[in-house]
Structure 1
Amino acid sequence: MLDAVVLFEPDLVICPFLTTRVPKEVYERVLTLIVHPGPPGDAGPSAIDWLLMGDDGSIPGADATLEYLNGDRIRPGRTHWGVTVLGAIEVFDAGPVWAFEQFPVNIDEKGLTKSELYRGPVTRAVITAT
């Protein structure tokens, strides 16, 4: 990534759906925007997976959330989800929010998969937000 930035000298770098950190040398050299498949405040990996499991954001911590979701309680999950475009900083998924777009979601919809979300409403929201 750094070699490409040095070679092409872009004015802007857009990084959709990262799984690794952007090198500090990149975001210090050029404005770098991260596209995160979750609403503002939803930091970390596997955002769509948590959504599909029924996490509604009410319980802090992955272990406690999994324990609750594995119980016998029926929960509706979230009715909406979104994507956030944020500036790259040293802390993962914690930079300033530049844009946010949300969309309705029904995790009980027949045939709804992570891939289907990415190919449909997530991609449309990314285009709008970016």
Structure 2
Amino acid sequence: MSMQYFSISFFTEPGTLWINAGTHLKYVQGGRRNWQSALLGDLESRNEPGFEEAITELISNPEAARGDAYAEMMSRSTTAMASLIQDLLLASQPSHLDHLTHCISELSGDFKALTCKPGSEVASRAFKQSDR
């Protein structure tokens, strides 16, 4: 059995460091409900002092309103995913890493295009993509 297969199997089995999709979805939905509830509460008090600060905090720091369970799930998920990616990279061949480097370079260009800062590099890339 390959190391990659073992890593993927380990992180997808229930009860391991990686949580299954159903459990993950439950926490995401709970966090969303908590945030929406906080938003509705703030909107109900929109005529009260501190409304602007409360809305600003809710938008700029949404994790605070999502709750502890959501934060713990995200922490576990992030740790498990980082470990899985590390294992996969360590088990990969040089050709895999070359391919990933190329994909990351392209993705970096996509993010530059999303910054909405016009420039010849972004404009030429956007023009090339429209020719596809």
The TM-score with structure 2 as length reference comes to 0.20
Q: Which has the larger radius of gyration?
A: 2
Bigger helix fraction: 2
The TM-score with structure 1 as length reference comes to 0.20
Bigger strand fraction: 1
